[in-house]
Amino acid sequence: TPLKELKDGLLSITSADEITDVAGSKLDENETVSITVVGASGDLAKKKIFPALFALYYEDCLPKHFTVFGYARSKMTDAELRTMVSRTLTCRIDKRENCNEKMEQFLARCFYHSGQYDSEDNFTELDKKLNEHEGGRVSNRLFYLSIPPNIFINVVKCASRSASSSNGWTRVIVEKPFGRDSESSAALTRGLKEYLVEDQIFRIDHYLGKELVENLSVLRFSNLIFEPLWSRQYIRNVQFIFSEDFGTEGRGGYFDSYGIIRDIMQNHLLQILALFAMETPVSLDAEDIRNEKVKVLRSMKPLQLDNVVIGQYKSHTRGGVKYPAYTDDETVPKDSLTPTFAAAALFIDNARWDGVPFLMKAGKALHTRRAEIRVQFRHVPGNLYNRSLGMDLDRATNELVIRVQPDEAIYLKINNKVPGLGMRLDRSNLNLHYAARYSKEIPDAYERLLLDAIEGERRLFIRSDELDAAWSLFTPLLKELEEKKTIPEYYPYGSRGPVGAHYLAARYNVRWG
C-alpha cells in the first residue's frame, strides 16, 4: 500500500494525474484468507461490509485465494445470501465500466452458514466448511463481528475455540460500541482477552478510515507551513463538527441506550481530535502513532458538566411535511432524555495546547449533513488593515477548514486585496477541492479498514489503552448526566440545534463555523 511505500521511503510525490493505486495483495500464493461476517443478515453487513469487500475485489486488492462467509442465525442458502448481497453491490468504483462479470465472480466466492452465536458445534461446522474452501493452504481467518455487543464474547469464545486457524493468523474486527463507560468497556476488553491477544483484536472506528482523517497526519507532518503554527501560540480554538440532516430513523432502539455522546463524540470526534493534537510520532508504525494518541488523550481533563450542552430533536413541520420527534420512534420511550445533540468544550493540559478550547458539536436531525475540522487562528497582532479598510476584525482571522464529508476539501480562509486601484480587502479561500483535483473516487472507509485488517496494519484501529483513556474522559460526565436526569434542550428537526451551543462557544470567545 502507499503507506508501506512511505515507510520504506519509496513514495514519490506525483502530480494527481500520475497517481495510480498500488493494487495486489501482500499475501503469499500459498495463503488463503477466509473472511467471516458474523451478523451477515444485518444492516451494517449489507450496507457497508459486503460492498467494501466487493470494492476491494474489484480493485484487485484481495489475495488470490479468498472466501467470504456470512454467519448468522437467520436461515439462508448460499444462493439467498448472494441475492441479498447483490442488492447492495454497486459499480461505483468505475462507473463507466460494466462490472457485472466481476460481481458474479465475487458472489461465487460468498457462502453462508447459519448458526447460533453461542454454539461451539455450529462454529465447528463453519470450521469444516472453511477448511474445505482453504484446500490445505495456509489459512488466515478474519472474523468481522457485525452484531450487537452483548454477544461479542460468546462469538469470540466459540470462534477462537472451534474455528480459528491452525496454521495462519486469526483476527477479529469488533464494531463499536465498545461498552457504555469505563467499567463496561474494561469488562469487554477483559472478556475478549480471555480468548484473544491484543494483536488479534481490531477495534474499528470507521472515521479513522475516512480519506481526510487519514490525510490529517500527512498535512501536519509533511508540510513545513502547518506544524510551526500548530499550537496555542497561533491557534485560538479548534472545532470538530458532526452533523446529520436525518434522525435516528431505524436505529432508535440502539441509539436510546447510547445517545450522541457515546455514538459520535467519545469515538469518532475524539479520535480525530487525538490525531489533530498529538505530538509527532517517532515513526509511522502503528504503535508509535497510537502511543502519541494515548499521550494526548491522557493529557486531557475529563469533561465538566458546565462545559456541555445537550439537546434532543422535536417534531417540526416544514413545507407541509411533518418531521418526527426523536421520541416518535416506536422503539424509543416517550419520556426518553437521551441526547441526540451535544456540544462540549475540552482542554488539553500540555505545553502545546494549554488554554486552547477544543470544541465538539455533534447532532442528528440538524439542517445539514457535514463532518468538519475548523481551526481558527489568532488575530494578526497590530493588524495594519483595520476596520476602516472594510474588515470586520473579528471575522478576519485565518481559518483552516478540513471538510471530511461530504464534498471533501481542505481550504484556508485568508484576507486578500480586492483587485483594483483602491485598497479594499475581502475574505478568500485557498481551496483544495478534492473533486476538482483528483479524478479517482474516494474509497469508502470500510474498504481501507478491511484491507488494513487483512494486511495486519493496525494504525487505524483502536488499542485498548486508547479506549480506556477515551472512556476516562467521558464516563464521569455521562454518569452525572444520567444521575441528575438532565433535561436536554429541545430543538426542531432540521434546525441548527439548541441555542445553548452558541452560549457555550461564546463563553470561550468562539463562533461556530
Residues in contact with ligand BG6 by CB under 6 A are: 206, 244, 263, 371
Within residues 55-84, the interface with ligand NDP by CB under 6 A covers: 72-74
Please, which residue, 114 or 271, has the CB nearer to ligand BG6? 271
Of the CA atoms within 13 Å of residue 208, those in its CB half-sphere come to 26
Q: Which amino acid is at 279?
A: E
In 3-state terms the chain splits into helix, strand, coil percentages (rounded to 5) of 40, 20, 40
Please, what is the minimum distance in Å from the beta carbon of residue 73 to ligand NDP? 3
Please, which residue, 39 or 311, has the CB nearer to ligand NDP? 39
3-state secondary structure of 214: helix
Please, which residue, 48 or 102, has the CB nearer to ligand NDP? 48
Instruction: Kindly state the number of chain residues that form the binding site for ligand NDP, as judged by CB under 6 A.
Output: 19
Cα–Cα distance, 231 to 216 (Å, whole number): 15
Please, what is the minimum distance in Å from the beta carbon of residue 51 to ligand BG6? 13
Tell me which H or E stretch contains 414.
strand 409-417
3-state secondary structure of 292: helix
Query: From the centroid of its chain, how far is CA 354?
Result: 27
Please, which residue, 206 or 459, has the CB nearer to ligand BG6? 206
Q: How far is CA 110 from CA 82, 327, 332, in A?
A: 7, 39, 36
Whether residue 390 contacts residue 383, with contact meaning beta carbons closer than 8 Å, is answered with no
Please, which residue, 268 or 374, has the CB nearer to ligand NDP? 268
227 binds, among ligand BG6, ligand NDP, none (CB under 5 to 8 A by kind): none
φ, ψ of residue 348 to 5 degrees: the values are -115, 120
φ, ψ of residue 159 to 5 degrees: the values are -65, -40
| Residue 488, number of CB atoms within 10 A of its CB | 24
Please, what is the minimum distance in Å from the beta carbon of residue 163 to ligand BG6? 27
73 binds, among ligand BG6, ligand NDP, none (CB under 5 to 8 A by kind): ligand NDP
Please, what is the minimum distance in Å from the beta carbon of residue 174 to ligand BG6? 13
Which residue in 5, 21, 43, 198 binds ligand NDP (CB under 6 A)? 43
Whether residue 73 contacts residue 116, with contact meaning beta carbons closer than 8 Å, is answered with yes
Please, what is the minimum distance in Å from the beta carbon of residue 335 to ligand BG6? 22
- When asked if residue 42 is in the footprint of ligand NDP (CB under 6 A), the reply is yes
User: β-pairing, 409-417 with 170-174?
Assistant: unpaired
Query: From the centroid of its chain, how far is CA 76?
Result: 31
φ, ψ of residue 137 to 5 degrees: the values are -80, 175
Within residues 328-367, the interface with ligand NDP by CB under 6 A covers: none
Cα–Cα distance, 352 to 329 (Å, whole number): 45
Please, which residue, 244 or 256, has the CB nearer to ligand BG6? 244
The active-site residue out of 133, 268, 367, 502 is 268
- When asked if residue 512 is in the footprint of ligand NDP (CB under 6 A), the reply is no
Catalytic residue status for 113 = no
Please, what is the minimum distance in Å from the beta carbon of residue 43 to ligand NDP? 4
**Inter-helix orientation angle 182-193/464-483, to 10°:** 150
Which residue in 31, 134, 175, 205 binds ligand NDP (CB under 6 A)? 175
Give the interface segment with ligand NDP, choosing from 35-43, 87-95, 192-200, 322-330 (CB under 6 A): 35-43
39 binds, among ligand NDP, ligand BG6, none (CB under 5 to 8 A by kind): ligand NDP
Position with the least CB separation from ligand NDP: 42
Helix segments in 420-463, DSSP class H: 434-437, 445-455
Residue partners of 322: CB distance under 8 A and separation at least 6: 315, 316
Within residues 105-164, the interface with ligand NDP by CB under 6 A covers: 117, 146-149, 151
Give the interface segment with ligand NDP, choosing from 42-50, 307-315, 365-373, 462-470 (CB under 6 A): 42-50
Cα–Cα distance, 478 to 259 (Å, whole number): 10
- When asked if residue 176 is in the footprint of ligand NDP (CB under 6 A), the reply is yes
Q: How long, in residues, is the chain?
A: 513
Please, what is the minimum distance in Å from the beta carbon of residue 47 to ligand NDP? 6
Please, which residue, 141 or 206, has the CB nearer to ligand BG6? 206
Which residue in 1, 26, 44, 465 binds ligand NDP (CB under 6 A)? 44
Please, what is the minimum distance in Å from the beta carbon of residue 203 to ligand NDP? 12
Cα–Cα distance, 412 to 431 (Å, whole number): 7
Please give the grid coordinates belonging to residue 200.
488479534
Contacting positions for ligand NDP (CB under 6 A): 39, 41-45, 72-74, 117, 146-149, 151, 175-177, 254
Task: Please identify every residue annotated as catalytic.
Answer: 268
